Amino acid sequence: MPRELTTGEILAGRYVVGSLHFLGGEATVYTGTDTTTNAAIAIKQLAAEPGDPIYETQRNRFRRCGAIRCNSPYVVDAVEYVEEGDDVYLILPFIEGSSLQTVLDRNGSRPLPPPEAVDVTMKIAMGLDILHRQGIVHRDIKPANVMITAQGHICIIDLTICRVLSENTLTGGNAQLGSISFMAPEQAKEPRTADLRADLYSVGAILYLLLTGRLPIQGNDEAQFHWNLETTIPSAPRDLNPAVPESVSRICMKLLAKRPEQRYQTAVELVNELQSIGAASVVSQTPSAAQARCPQCSRFVSSTQSFCGHCGQSLHQAGQAAVACVACGMPIANDPVCPQCQRPFSRSDHRLIFAEQMYRVPEGIFVVGRGELLSWDTGVSRQHLLVSCTNGTVHLQDAGSVNKTFVNGRLADQITQLRCGDEVIVAGHIATYTHD
């Protein structure tokens, strides 16, 4: 066994060890602090030792994982790969929140409401799109590797068994990699050649579980599971849960196709399909008089509730918060024209809804920074993003800020049109874009 770390000791001259967080067969995880940034970290220690048959392969996996940089809020990059003597570590950001598996366990394995299942699936697919564009196949997409932060943000973790298409495989023989319950048929047979479509099958298995409360493929033992994985077509989600829309059920079954060529071929293709067919019904519904929009997650909830049942936001407290004009940062009401900057607002009432503040977007083209947006956070640059609202359409682009602007997990380094329900991240602050 590798040596046990002690609280307070320092790795690589900068990482202070905290407490034991998780003890597993392949790795031990400790909490810690990065003294150069004061950020909370996770220290993942390889369990294998020199002389173990798997040591070199797993050390190389840790090393490769430590070098991957996706620079996306939907994928958790490692901070650094560290070797001290024979001990091997991955330093990772510590994610405050729960895994999707934990959320499902707390829910008693009951199905989620279809809109929530679609939303979670779409965010996972956005993360996969970032990975796949860099030629990386995750190979272990499962609820335990999907984190939901305390703010409700979704990100993919654990790239240790990923396949980098431009490099030689580290997988020896026909060693099984990944979790069989969420594994594509072709990956179960030959993990060394599994491509991005195997990840999309895994997304389909997660969506199926979220919609029905059960796995698409089951078996009493591993041999039976492999047989069923090859031969059994699961019942459509709508057949098990009538609340599932036909369009969402169809998307799920396409993801679970036995042959890769019959699935969606890219993650962005899946994202577009969910946005146009599944997620559109979540963000474009018309509220009744008895409903209000939650300023935290932008979903419609009963106006009689004290808290949003989706994210826990206090509706009464949030409802008292002032709405501001994003062009000048001044508080406004439902005025047709901003009384400060005199810019008119569109009839569509475009809004960026952060947890901390709601902003209305007026007509025109303007640069937004710390003076106008989230002024209390010095992480927002003085000129952070360019916003335009013309002819009822909102576009934005990062203005060369230090901490960047993302739309749906992608760096907005080019002019990007916003669609209702898009997730905009400004210096780490998450907003939902909406319009009536």
- Which class in CATH covers the domain with range 322-434? mainly beta
| Rounded Cα gap, residues 322 and 343, in angstroms | 18
Closest CA to 164 of 71, 66, 232: 66
CB atoms within 10 A of CB 33: 17
- pTM of the complete model: 0.70
Residue extent(s) of CATH 2.60.200.20 domains in the chain:
322-434
Residues 6+ apart with CB under 8 A from 19: 7, 30, 31
**Which phi and psi angles does 406 have, rounded to 5°?**
-125, 145
Interaxial angle between packed helices 246-255 and 196-212, expressed in degrees from 0 to 180 and rounded to the nearest 10: 140
Order of strands across the sheet that contains 154-156: 97-99, 146-149, 154-156
- Which class in CATH covers the domain with range 97-283? mainly alpha
| Rounded Cα gap, residues 271 and 275, in angstroms | 6
Q: What is the CATH number of domain 10-93?
A: 3.30.200.20
| Rounded Cα gap, residues 140 and 61, in angstroms | 14
Closest CA to 30 of 5, 61, 3: 5
CB atoms within 10 A of CB 132: 21
Residues 6+ apart with CB under 8 A from 273: 251, 264
Residue extent(s) of CATH 1.10.510.10 domains in the chain:
97-283
User: What are the C-alpha distances in Å from 369 to residues 37, 351, 386, 401?
Assistant: 23, 16, 9, 9
| Rounded Cα gap, residues 255 and 208, in angstroms | 10
| Rounded Cα gap, residues 299 and 291, in angstroms | 10
The β-bridge relationship of strands 393-398 and 416-417 is antiparallel
Which residues, listed in sequence order, are joined to residue 40 by a DSSP beta bridge?
Answer: 33
- pLDDT tens sequence for the chain (436 residues): 788 999 999 999 999 999 999 888 889 999 999 999 999 999 999 999 998 998 999 999 999 999 999 988 889 999 999 999 889 999 999 988 888 998 888 777 788 888 889 989 999 999 999 999 999 999 999 999 999 876 678 899 999 999 998 776 655 545 556 688 999 999 998 888 889 999 999 999 999 999 999 999 998 888 899 999 999 999 999 999 988 999 999 999 999 999 999 999 999 999 999 887 744 444 333 333 344 555 555 555 544 443 344 444 444 443 344 689 999 998 887 889 998 899 999 888 999 998 768 899 999 999 999 989 987 777 889 999 999 998 889 999 999 998 899 998 889 999 999 999 899 999 888 889 999 8
Residue extent(s) of CATH 3.30.200.20 domains in the chain:
10-93
